[in-house]
Amino acid sequence: MTQSMGEGRVHTTPEFDRWWESRCRDTDFLATLDPASARRVAWEAWKKGREQLSEATAHLRLQPVRR
């Protein structure tokens, strides 16, 4: 995880950065917020979504075999 400097710190991942560039940068989302604020809001939503996905799929992960 890297940190991007700006108005406050935003932690990012390369995956989030690619998603941001391809999907959010030129949308109506930015028309209502300045770019730095929009990116912070999108990062928080991204992070929460990833955490929920991780919790929802935890039972699918490989488990050690008891011997």
Per-residue model confidence as pLDDT tens digits over 7-29: 455 667 888 888 888 877 667 66
Residue 66 lies in a domain: no
CA–CA separation, 36 and 6 (whole Å): 7
CB atoms within 10 A of CB 5: 7
The average confidence (pLDDT) of the chain is 75
Residue 29 lies in a domain: yes
The total of structural domains in the chain comes to: 1
Tell me the residue range of the domain where 42 lies. Answer: 2-57
- pLDDT attached to residue 46: 85
Residue 16 lies in a domain: yes
Residue 44 lies in a domain: yes
Residue 64 lies in a domain: no
Residues 6+ apart with CB under 8 A from 22: none
Residue 63 lies in a domain: no
Least confident of 5-9, 20-24, 40-44, 45-49: 5-9
CA–CA separation, 6 and 26 (whole Å): 19
